[in-house]
Copies of this chain bind each other. A is one copy, B any other.
Amino acid sequence: MAIKIYELCAADEAVLFSPHCWKTRMSLAHKGIDHESSATPFSKVAGIENGAGRRVPVIRDGGTVVEESFAIAKYLDETYPDAPHLVGGVAGASLTSLIINWSQTQVHPAVVKLCLMDIYNTLAPADQEHFRTTREKMFGKSLEEFQAQFDMQDYSGLKAALLPLELTLKGQNFIGGETPLFADYVVFGPLQWLRVVKGIDAIPLEGKVAEWFNTLLDMYGGMARSTPLAQPAAAA
User: A residues touching B (Cβ–Cβ < 8 Å)?
Assistant: 85, 88-99, 101-102, 104-106, 163-165, 167-168, 171-172, 174-177, 181, 183
Give A216 Cβ to nearest chain B Cβ, in Å: 15
Q: Considering only CB atoms, which chain B residue lies closest to A93 in the complex? A: B177
- 5 nearest A-B pairs in the assembled complex, by CB-CB distance: A88-B91, A94-B177, A101-B164, A95-B95, A102-B164
Q: Supply 12 further A-B pairs (C-beta < 8 A) apart from A94-B177, A95-B175, A105-B167.
A: A88-B91, A89-B89, A89-B91, A90-B177, A91-B176, A91-B177, A91-B181, A94-B174, A98-B99, A98-B102, A98-B168, A101-B165
Q: Considering only CB atoms, which chain B residue lies closest to A106 in the complex? A: B164
Give A9 Cβ to nearest chain B Cβ, in Å: 29
With A106-B164, A164-B102, A164-B106 given, is the CB distance from A171 to B95 under 8 Å? no
Q: Note all chain B residues with C-beta closer than 8 A to A176.
A: 91, 94-95
Main secondary structure of the interface of A (DSSP, over half): helix
A88 pairs with B98, CB closer than 8 A: no
A91 pairs with B97, CB closer than 8 A: no
Q: Note all chain B residues with C-beta closer than 8 A to A177.
A: 90-91, 93-94
A95 pairs with B97, CB closer than 8 A: no
Q: Note all chain B residues with C-beta closer than 8 A to A105.
A: 163-164, 167
Give A206 Cβ to nearest chain B Cβ, in Å: 16
